[in-house]
Amino acid sequence: MIVESIITTLGPDGVAHIAPMGVIWRDDQPILAPFRPSTTLDNLRHNGGAVINHTDDVRVFAGCLTGRRDWPLMPAEQIDGRVLQGALAHQELRVDRVEEDEQRPRFHCRVVHEAAHGAFRGFNRAQAAVIEAAILVSRLNMLPRDKVEREMAYLEIAVSKTAGAREREAWEWLTARIAAFYRGAAAESAR
C-alpha cells in the first residue's frame, strides 16, 4: 500500500526540508522512493533518517508544490529530524538499506518511534481531490495538457461539493500554478 504523506528530512546544514511523498508500506516497513535529483534523496543519504507526517491539512501538500514550504516544525523525539506541527500522527525512521536505481533509489527504513497527536475526523472527498491535483501539478512537465484539464474538471466537482476553507485555499493555489504553467508554455512557444 502507498500512503501519501509529508516527509521531513534534514540537510547537512541542519536545514529542514519538507516534501509530499507516497510512502510504500511493505510488511509494516516503510520504503521511501524519491526521484533523482531531489533534496529529499540527498538528505536521506546524508542524514540516514526521516519523519513521515500524516496530516489532513491538504494545504501542506498543495503548498509544497506551489512554493509554500514554510510550515511550522518541531524537533523529532528519537532521531535528528523535524516533525510537522499540525500532524495528526508521525513516524520517525532510520534508513536500513538503499536499493540503488538510475531514476528512483529506494530507501528501506525502520520505524524507531511513532506518536499520535490528534484524532482522525473522517474522509473528505475534497481532500482526496486536492492530493490528486497536487500529483498532477508535480507532473505538469510530463503530462499532456488535455489530460490535466480533464482531470482537474472532474476533481473540481468534489471540491465544489465538499470542501472546507483549507481545501478551497489549497485548490486555489494549485489551479493558479497550473494556469501560470500554461501561460508560461504559451509565451515560450510564441517566442
Ligand X SMILES: Cc1cc2nc3c(=O)[nH]c(=O)nc-3n(C[C@H](O)[C@H](O)[C@H](O)COP(=O)(O)O)c2cc1C
Site of interaction with ligand X (CB under 6 A): 4, 19-22, 33-35, 38-40, 61, 65, 131, 134-135, 138
Residue 104 grid coordinates: 528512483
- When the beta carbons of 21 and 155 are compared against ligand X, the nearer one is 21
Question: Which of residues 104 and 161 has its CB atom nearest to ligand X in the complex?
Answer: 104
Q: How far is the CB of 96 from ligand X (least distance, A)?
A: 18
CB 94 → ligand X: shortest distance, Å?
Answer: 19
For ligand X, the closer of residues 66 and 76 by Cβ is 66
Closest approach, Cβ 35 to ligand X, in A, equals 4
The strand pairing partners of 154, in sequence order, are: none
Three-state SS annotation for the chain: CEEEEEEEEECCCCCEEEEEEEEEEECCEEEECCCCCCHHHHHHHHHCEEEEEECCCCHHHHHHHCCCCCCCEEECCCCCCEEECCCCEEEEEEEEEEECCCCCCEEEEEEEEEEECCCCCCCCHHHHHHHHHHHHHHCCCCCCHHHHHHHHHHHHHHHHHHCCHHHHHHHHHHHHHHHHHHHHHHHHHHC
Q: Which is closer to ligand X, CB of 77 or CB of 181?
A: 181
CB of 38 to ligand X, least distance (A): 3
Of 61 and 173, which CB lies nearer to ligand X in the complex structure? 61
β-partners of residue 91 are: 52, 114
**C-beta of 191: minimal distance to ligand X in Å?**
27
